[in-house]
Amino acid sequence: MIDCQANTGTISFLTKAKARAEIARLSRELHEHNYRYYVLAQPVISDFEFDQLMKRLQALEQEFPDLVRPDSPTRRVGGEPLSEFATVVHDPPMLSLDNTYSYEELREFDSRVKKTVSRPIYLVQQKIDGVAVSLRYEDFVFVQGATRGDGTRGDNITANLGTVSSVPLRLRKERKGFARFEVRGEAYMPRREFERINLERDEEGLATFANPRNATAGTLKLLDPKQVRKRRLDCFVHTVPRAFEGIPTDHEVLEALKELGFKTAPESRLLSTIDEVISYCESWQAHRHDLPYDIDGMVVKVDRFADREELGMTEKGPRWAVAYKYPPEEAETKVERIYFNVGRLGTVTPVAEVGQVFISGTNVTHSTLHNMDEVERLDIRVGDTVVIHKAGEIIPQILKVVPDKGHARRAKVAIPEECPACGTRLFKEADEVAWRCVNASCPAQLKARLLHFGARGVMDIDGLGEKLVEQLVETGMVKSIADLYELKAEGLLGLERMGEKSASALLASIEASRVRPFTRLLFGLGIRHIGIHAARLLVQAFGSWERLSVAPVDEIAGVPGVGEAVAESFHHFLADRENIRLVERLRRAGLRFEEKSAGGPRPLAGKKFVLTGTLAGLSREDATEMIVSRGGSVVSSVSKKTDFVVAGASPGSKYDRAKELGVEIIDEKKFRQLISRGAQDRPHPRPLPEGEGMG
């Protein structure tokens, strides 16, 4: 039984039967609200009210895990990471459309159609510039999502597409004929989301995506659905591979799909002549930059399924449809300057400053040149006339240099030997094209490095936010991470919005960070390739900075799960004098540069744990640290060798796997008890009664 409270009312001591009914009701309501928000853009409740309903459902599922429905709205957050994608065979194949690039070619298509169908009706749709996907439903529930792949076989990305809010996990209605079917469409990234992600990646020193389509493709290939969810993809459906009995036209199928909860291809229009089709294509060519998503043309399809049957298919695609592609917008301009920008992780990127030109709706004055290989490929120099366009209508990109025989060209561009921001000598790894600055105190990297160092799950310095970091760096109070530990209250009080209480809280949080585990400190240094997982492996293998810093590259690379990239990156970090000075200052400040076990014996030595779901009072990193510091290990998959599965709210498939294998499942309370008393007193394995455990 459960005592669950929410703004929508109070449920006290539910029986299992009532819990099942309540879970079904909440699931229906949340699916409907998702549909109204993401498909219709007409929400009828506030975000707060939606969150309260979701929390209510999560609480019920936590108490009654065996009642969790496969189409539960809580599954939107994404399940456990995958090891690889399985293969899906498309039946019928997902073939591509023929492309046309002129209105004359559209008229030729119309002539070919009319040789078979005397008076065709065309359904014209925007051609979304995304990634083609298929969605399969059984018993009105989403069961499989896949990429197009080579048209015959694609990747099974069900878990990733299940995180997309506009993909219905369960149909809004159980309409006859739609219990089992497949629909195809385009997954895409909205422009605003693309810009947000690229800004974050740029600040983190990561390569930016060239356009929303590439960003979408890269996102759908991620093996962790939770990371996919964070990128907020969207999806339009536009066709079905098989006709439905009793529905004679494509546009009627789309209307039915819309009623069932799908976000269908926008701005679809029925037109009876090719002149009307061309006029409609022209109208969107003029306004496509006003849309919140990218389109690269229009799709023209014969609407009646019977007409499509008569027209048939070729080996490459249908004879009843064609894609009209818009020509890219280009302009000529001159390169006025080429300079080098330094990212958060020290990546040095060449950038061209050009004479202002208007392309795809905005003025362009700069274009990234990505890396020196691209500079050499283009053979671009200051003073050159170049052709520039917007890749994916977003990112300014130089296509080529225009020969100008009347003027002598300037000298070739060379990568600077030293970092333009701090003077540290740059280096390039053998298998990469990027040059980097490894100085952790480089002013161009400092703001982002400070934010990373103080972030939750790293050194947990509350109050060290973006605005404060900007003030600390710009006033010169902090020129290195180590300067954080020398801050005084009197200095902080002179900063904007910094009173005595805020200053005291910040200094207390900085003081508390001195005793964070060595694993977090190593991660916090921001050494390239050393994330929290690699940091944990290194700390487990070497135990202290003293041992790690003198270990040869091959010894570090030989640690299981580490590899050469991590080892070489760590040695590049050690080769810089400023980094050594930073480490010594942090050591003098009292930070922990060695692993400290939880006092005396290691009670969990040899015990293997798997974490799944969300713990109410612990982050996954905190739980991992508690296990590792007591000698245990955290593994990613459940096997018969697993000792414990720690299950929080909304667990994934690992929970089911543990039940199958008879592995002991414990909730957060039992986990804390186990941590406090050690593994010697581990509870006797027993099957969980109905409703027990963490969601």
> Residue 139 maps to which CATH number?
3.30.470.30
| Among 449, 410, 415, residue whose Cα is nearest residue 435 | 415
- What domain range is 383 assigned to? 330-402
* Same domain (yes/no): 313, 175: yes
Is 199 domain-assigned? Answer: yes
* Same domain (yes/no): 388, 500: no
φ and ψ at 450, to 5 degrees? Answer: -65, -45
Among 56-60, 86-90, 686-690, the minimum mean pLDDT is found in 686-690
d(C-alpha 579, C-alpha 441), whole Å: 7
Residues with active-site annotation: 127
User: Which segments of 483-606 does DSSP mark as H helices, in order?
Assistant: 489-492, 500-513, 518-524, 532-542, 545-550, 553-557, 564-574, 577-588
* Same domain (yes/no): 154, 258: yes
Is 93 domain-assigned? Answer: no
- Answer yes or no: is pLDDT of 518 > 70: yes
Instruction: Assign 334 to helix, strand or coil.
Output: strand
* Same domain (yes/no): 65, 113: no
Query: CATH no. for residue 7?
Result: 1.10.287.610
* Same domain (yes/no): 71, 37: yes
* Same domain (yes/no): 204, 125: yes
Q: How many domains does the chain have?
A: 5
Per-residue pLDDT of 367-425, as tens digits, reads 888 888 888 889 999 999 999 987 655 678 888 899 876 678 898 998 888 998 888 88
Is 426 domain-assigned? Answer: no
Give the residue from 557, 588, 619 where a domain finishes.
Answer: 588
Q: Contact, 251 vs 303, CB < 8 A?
A: yes
Identify the pLDDT of residue 166.
Answer: 92
Query: CATH no. for residue 360?
Result: 2.40.50.140
Give the residue from 46, 77, 108 where a domain finishes.
Answer: 77
Is 359 domain-assigned? Answer: yes
Q: Contact, 663 vs 645, CB < 8 A?
A: yes
Q: Contact, 11 vs 25, CB < 8 A?
A: no
* Same domain (yes/no): 520, 398: no
Q: Residue 3 — very low, low, confident or very high, per pLDDT cuts 50/70/90?
A: very low
Per-residue pLDDT of 192-204, as tens digits, reads 899 888 887 766 6
Instruction: Assign 192 to helix, strand or coil.
Output: helix
d(C-alpha 208, C-alpha 278), whole Å: 36
* Same domain (yes/no): 311, 367: no
Is 300 domain-assigned? Answer: yes
* Same domain (yes/no): 300, 395: no
Is 425 domain-assigned? Answer: no
Per-residue pLDDT of 284-321, as tens digits, reads 987 887 889 989 899 999 999 999 999 998 877 899 99
pTM (2 decimals)? 0.52
* Same domain (yes/no): 236, 106: yes
Query: CATH no. for residue 638?
Result: 3.40.50.10190
| Among 627, 458, 585, 590, residue whose Cα is nearest residue 527 | 458
Is 594 domain-assigned? Answer: no
Query: What is the edge-to-edge ordering of all strands in the sheet holding 122-128?
Result: 99-100, 321-325, 295-302, 122-128, 269-271
| Among 217, 252, 251, 256, residue whose Cα is nearest residue 233 | 217
Query: CATH no. for residue 528?
Result: 1.10.150.20
* Same domain (yes/no): 581, 631: no
* Same domain (yes/no): 30, 119: no
Per-residue pLDDT of 586-623, as tens digits, reads 999 999 999 865 444 567 878 888 888 877 777 777 78
Give the residue from 559, 588, 617 where a domain finishes.
Answer: 588
Per-residue pLDDT of 530-548, as tens digits, reads 888 889 889 888 989 999 9
Is 91 domain-assigned? Answer: no
Cis peptide before 92 (omega within 30 of 0): yes
